[in-house]
Chain A
């Protein structure tokens, strides 16, 4: 099962990953981090994630730290 790991403390809320995900599995969360940003969250109830790592490649702040494909 493919999934990604998000380090919320690094997210600066540029939201570039949201547009990049081909399955639209990344959303803006209600939670905020210690920078005061509404962080992004990974929401994949139907296990659609492809493990393409496009979100991690796009993220300019290393907030998406791990991507697993399988």
Chain B
């Protein structure tokens, strides 16, 4: 008798259809979030603060409570929700432009205050929804629509490494960077998301996961080439790994 080893998580709405571009890793990230919510039994008590950008559409796909926030303020809104309803499970799902550019102050201070919320940041080194402009995580030399000759170090400076910065904040309980370029890395990403959600459930502090994702449309690549770029270029600059995990220390 065959056993079912994969199914669409119950957290998804019925007849869900993604509106992402073909080959976009957002689809995988949303699915991992849905699977972790189901595994931890959080469907009824989860509230997501949706951000601006491609990540906003998460509330169209998941059958959980959601609130839409203005540009970059998902973390401020999540703080408000969590303080008003501490019994709820609150998380944000943001892109790099939202988390690390316009919302950097909110994100950083939420981590410094040790808010008991979880955050997921999709890093695709560009502003995806608005047409592939230069963002805070754009790599040195990368061609975007607003840097046609490549990111110039003298003019634009260096990209931000979010996971390392969040790990430096004392209120952070868990900070990791993961990638979605291979199936093995997708499984690791799921473990990291689970950990970031668990630190909130245990009341330890801020849980954060940065996910390296592809954007085939704005990189003007095929989905396969985009994954090669994640592997060969992005993962060399943005090194995957767990940068802070306070549960690990206390366990030893």
Contacts and interface: CB of A to CB of B under 8 A. Distances in A.
Interface residues of B, number: 29
Contact of A60 (B3, B8, B24, B224): B24
B54 to A, nearest CB: 12
Interface string B3-47: 111111000100011101111111110010000000000000000
Interface of chain B, main secondary structure: mixed
Interface in A47-61: 51, 53-54, 56-61
Nearest to A67: B6
A51 B5 contact: yes
Interface of A: 1-3, 9-10, 12-16, 19-20, 37, 51, 53-54, 56-62, 64-70
A19 B224 contact: yes
Contacts of A12: 21-23
A70 B26 CA distance: 31
A60 B5 contact: no
Given A15-B223, A60-B25, A66 B7 contact: yes
A54 B6 CA distance: 10
Contacts of A56: 6
Contacts of B223: 14-16, 60
Contacts of B17: 9-10
B23 A69 contact: no
B23 A16 contact: yes
A36 to B, nearest CB: 12
B241 to A, nearest CB: 21
A68 B22 contact: no
B165 interface: no
B224 A66 contact: no
B187 interface: yes
Contact of B1 (A19, A64, A70): A70
Contact of B6 (A53, A60, A70): A53
The residue in B1, B2, B224, B227 that gathers the most chain A C-beta atoms within 10 A of its C-beta is: B2
A2 B3 CA distance: 9
B23 A68 contact: no
B105 interface: no
B5 A61 contact: no
Contacts of A67: 4-7
A3 B5 CA distance: 10
